[in-house]
Structure 1
Amino acid sequence: MTASVGSLPRCLSRPSQTSDPWGRYYTSPLVSRSLIDGIEAPQPKLLLELGSGSGSLSSAAANRWQDAKLVTVDVDCRAPRRLDASDTTPRLKHTHFVHDVLDEALSDRIGLKLGTVDVAVCNPPYIRPRWRSDFGKILEDAGLSGALLSLFDAGADLLFLAQNLRLLRNNGKLGLILPDGLVTAERFSRVRQTLLRQHFVQQVVQLPRGVFKGTEAQTYLAVLTKSAGETGEVSLKQMGTDGRLSAAIHVGQDAAVKRLDYAFHAASQVSAHRSCESPLPTSFRQVLTAVVRGSICSSAIPSFPKPVFHLGDFAKPMGEQAVRIVPRRFALDARTAQRVAHDARLAVPGDILVARVGRSLADQVALVVHGPCVISDCIFALRAADDHREKLYRFLESEMGRLALGSAAHGVAARFMSKSNLFDIHF
């Protein structure tokens, strides 16, 4: 059975070179099955998928819970209205609606009362819709409006999550696919805190990059139970390229508020274990006396009167025993450095340079030796006391150091790292 209501709101459609016009990356059967398998719901009566797209999650849910009623909603009139013809669940009652998922009155449009859905699954689109007053109501009803520094930070991922929470019953299950921002970005830490305090977040699974065709975006599977008590501890896992899940690591609420990605916490636990047997300080925060971020943007480098050290100027890794040095051509004499310092930030001899952005930032390290140099805004200069400098540099050149930098960075596609990300790294 199918139904069709509403029209296609242009505010949700945004062209993309890799996703479809609605910002969707379609879920593979492997990922769909993994998400559905992670939801502990023995006999749900009502299933829901908002933004059903190709129907991969719906099909996986229908195959598991064959007696449940399924409701799917998608703004695209070309999205599948019924399950694949190969589906073997003829008893399933399936209703499909063509409508704007982010309509505040969606429950009325599709005939479902708020707070009645047993299990919801969702793969939100990767877009930032133009703001509407509806969105504030959706976030407020879900208890998330106060968790944002600005309501305009709400992308489709957070809005879809909030809409699902409105429709779920208490103790209902939500399984969804999240982008990197909601899982790791500092600006969403209060969102994570709110979710962890209001709901039971069962697990978060870090997916391999490239799992969605057409993008290298970092994504995650998350499963939570609505209003089932505060989350004390979260189970974090990582999926390999073969679909297998790693053993779980468990992190407390405070650590989960900071970040919810497996790679970061796994690296932190390994580093913490090593620090117990090492005389090194436990964190960068204890080692660094200053972190200087460059100020010259890439477009201004060609016109700047002096050479600017940028991402492409890092030498390739040469082994843990080698030292990569900033080339002499970037060094300034004392008088020139004093004059240039009015227009740019400088790294000084003894500083260790690391990349702040880029997919290969974990491999980019250099030591300033010959003299002060101008650095771009894509570079951090790490300043450490003399007795820690060599140990810090050796760590950054090591395999463990590259793992630490890589796991500290975040971002959906291009990776980037903040000062606080750096300070969180442990030896």
Structure 2
Amino acid sequence: MRQDLELRGDPLGRFYTDPAIGQVFVSLFDRRQANSILDLGSGGGSLTVAAARRWTDARIQTVDVDLGAEEHIRTGMASAGHVHHDHLVADVLDENLPEMIGGPRFDLAVCNPPYARIKWRDGFSRILAEAGMEGLQTLPTPALSSDIMFIAQILRLAEPGAEVGVIVPDGLVSARRHRAVRQALLERVRVMRVVQLPRRSFRGTEAQAHVIVFRNERGRGEPVEISRLDADGVSSPIVVGNEDARIRMNHGYYQSVTGTLRKGFSLRGIGAEITRGSLSSAQARACREPVFHTSSFNQPSTFDYRLNGAGVASDRPGRRIAGPGDILLARVDRNLHRKICVVSQGQAILSDCIYRIRVPANWRDAVVRGFLSDAGQAALIGATRGVGARMLSKEDLLALEIETP
């Protein structure tokens, strides 16, 4: 890709695939035979080599803008004993790439796009239109991340019915802001399975990532198999309806709302009121009144938290106050699932990293104990997103199912 990518570290925003992940990746395809394989943005060629080892007779085309990529790929291909390989040094998102390669002719494609934001260029309209995803042009340009544009470019190059596997960041499968993108994808292609990868699967990042495997044919509302990769291999899939997949496609979330949790309840279902705190970190530091922040979860008793303030001004927009009976939960933190308490006395102004949860008094104990249970902790973790510091959205918190104690 060109140097208009904006990411720290690797100037092209690449995080390289571990060979072990590459082997799992190619095992997720249904296709037993492949004639022509594409690796778009091939980098050092981990996915290319894994594909070469599985589909030994296929001709493989790699494309990367990095002049040094071809030497690494050739070395890997030689170790795999594979000789049917062509490499093109080119901008992966060039609108004329199909002409450079010779038109749609691939029956299988593998791809690990860079984790990067890209600047919109005029050629992107043509790429989306020819991929059958022109509806995405109405979205704000920040929503069209590199992974979306890579998928669109692959669809221009893939034969009808071709199988495609793409490694994507967590936001694409779980973030609310990407719901329209998931809907467009599920309508344009037949998504067969999504596999959640372990954190630290890629050198240089803790980012959560997933593999999406789909077929280049129109989606007709088929269910999606959602699994995760762990030390024991790929888990048995959870089959998720197409409408649910448009909302989320990450295994951690669905694992938290199935099985024993079906006998639980949701915060939305019991009429909970969830309010986000108001003070930024800078405002919290400058405030002379007591402020409750993520660092304030430091008392031994979860059910008897005593705040220092008294007579703090009334609750209003821009100034959210916690008081007796309120449940407080970290909204942003590496260990937010463990940061929960019930206020027994006192008041404090809430930072914007804190949720205030108000429920009927007869539900208060059940909510907190449900969150603190093993199942509740797993549910909270499954609903979060982010690298390093995790984040929990209000919508996901309201929908989260809590096991009845």
TM-score by length of 1: 0.88
Task: Please point out which of 77, 83, 88 is paired with 1:92.
Answer: 83
8 Å CA contact 2:39–2:62 kept in 1: the answer is yes
8 Å CA contact 1:66–1:92 kept in 2: the answer is no
Task: Please point out which of 411, 422, 425 is paired with 2:386.
Answer: 411
Task: Please point out which of 358, 363, 387 is paired with 1:383.
Answer: 358
Question: Which residue is 1:16 aligned to?
Answer: 8
Letter in 1 for 2:307: R
Task: Please point out which of 275, 280, 290 is paired with 1:292.
Answer: 275
Residue 15 of structure 1 deviates from its aligned partner by 5.0
Alignment of 1:46-85 (within 5 A): 46-81=36-71, 82-84=73-75
**Would you say 1:124 and 2:110 are equivalent positions?**
no
> What SS is found at the alignment partner of 2:333?
coil
Residue 51 of structure 1 deviates from its aligned partner by 0.7
Question: Which consecutive residues of structure 1, in runs of 5 or more, have no partner in the other structure?
Answer: 1-7, 276-281
Question: Which residue is 2:192 aligned to?
Answer: 202
Question: Which residue is 1:353 aligned to?
Answer: 328
Alignment of 1:217-256 (within 5 A): 217-227=207-217, 229-240=219-230, 242=231, 244-256=233-245
> What SS is found at the alignment partner of 1:103?
coil
Residue 364 of structure 1 deviates from its aligned partner by 0.7
Question: Which residue is 2:146 aligned to?
Answer: 156
> What SS is found at the alignment partner of 2:39?
strand
8 Å CA contact 1:294–1:345 kept in 2: the answer is yes
Aligned residues: 400
> What SS is found at the alignment partner of 1:174?
strand
**In 2: Cα distance, 1:271 partner to 1:136 partner:** 47
Letter in 2 for 1:332: A
Task: Please point out which of 302, 313, 322 is paired with 1:337.
Answer: 313
**In 2: Cα distance, 1:383 partner to 1:92 partner:** 64
> What SS is found at the alignment partner of 1:250?
strand
8 Å CA contact 2:228–2:235 kept in 1: the answer is yes
**In 2: Cα distance, 1:67 partner to 1:254 partner:** 39
Residue 274 of structure 1 deviates from its aligned partner by 3.2
> What SS is found at the alignment partner of 1:302?
helix
Residue 235 of structure 1 deviates from its aligned partner by 0.9
Q: 1:386 to 1:133 in 2, by over 3 A?
A: same
Task: Please point out which of 293, 296, 302 is paired with 2:285.
Answer: 302
Q: 1:197 to 1:15 in 2, by over 3 A?
A: closer
Q: 1:407 to 1:91 in 2, by over 3 A?
A: closer
Residue 412 of structure 1 deviates from its aligned partner by 4.4
8 Å CA contact 1:49–1:58 kept in 2: the answer is yes
Residue 379 of structure 1 deviates from its aligned partner by 0.6
**In 2: Cα distance, 1:324 partner to 1:133 partner:** 57
Question: Which consecutive residues of structure 2, in runs of 5 or more, have no partner in the other structure?
Answer: none
**In 2: Cα distance, 1:341 partner to 1:11 partner:** 43
8 Å CA contact 1:203–1:235 kept in 2: the answer is yes
Q: 1:144 to 1:413 in 2, by over 3 A?
A: farther
**In 1: Cα distance, 2:141 partner to 2:76 partner:** 42
**In 1: Cα distance, 2:116 partner to 2:23 partner:** 25
8 Å CA contact 1:216–1:413 kept in 2: the answer is yes
8 Å CA contact 1:70–1:95 kept in 2: the answer is yes
**In 2: Cα distance, 1:86 partner to 1:158 partner:** 28
- TM-superposition CA deviations, 1:285-315 (whole Å, max 9, x none): 0124311111100122111121211111113
Letter in 2 for 1:357: V
Question: Which residue is 2:247 aligned to?
Answer: 258
Residue 332 of structure 1 deviates from its aligned partner by 2.6
Task: Quote the sequence identity (%).
Answer: 36
> What SS is found at the alignment partner of 2:401?
coil
> What SS is found at the alignment partner of 1:11?
coil
Letter in 2 for 1:264: Y
> What SS is found at the alignment partner of 1:128?
coil
Letter in 2 for 1:10: Q
Q: 1:216 to 1:85 in 2, by over 3 A?
A: closer
Question: Which residue is 2:171 aligned to?
Answer: 181
Letter in 1 for 2:190: F
Q: 1:291 to 1:229 in 2, by over 3 A?
A: closer
- TM-superposition CA deviations, 1:161-190 (whole Å, max 9, x none): 111112111110101111001010011112
- TM-superposition CA deviations, 1:380-403 (whole Å, max 9, x none): 101101111111111122222211
Question: Which residue is 1:4 aligned to?
Answer: none
Task: Please point out which of 113, 124, 127 is paired with 1:135.
Answer: 124
**In 1: Cα distance, 2:76 partner to 2:143 partner:** 40
**In 2: Cα distance, 1:395 partner to 1:188 partner:** 29
8 Å CA contact 2:117–2:146 kept in 1: the answer is yes
> What SS is found at the alignment partner of 1:239?
strand
TM-score by length of 2: 0.93
Residue 197 of structure 1 deviates from its aligned partner by 2.4
> What SS is found at the alignment partner of 1:216?
coil
> What SS is found at the alignment partner of 1:285?
coil
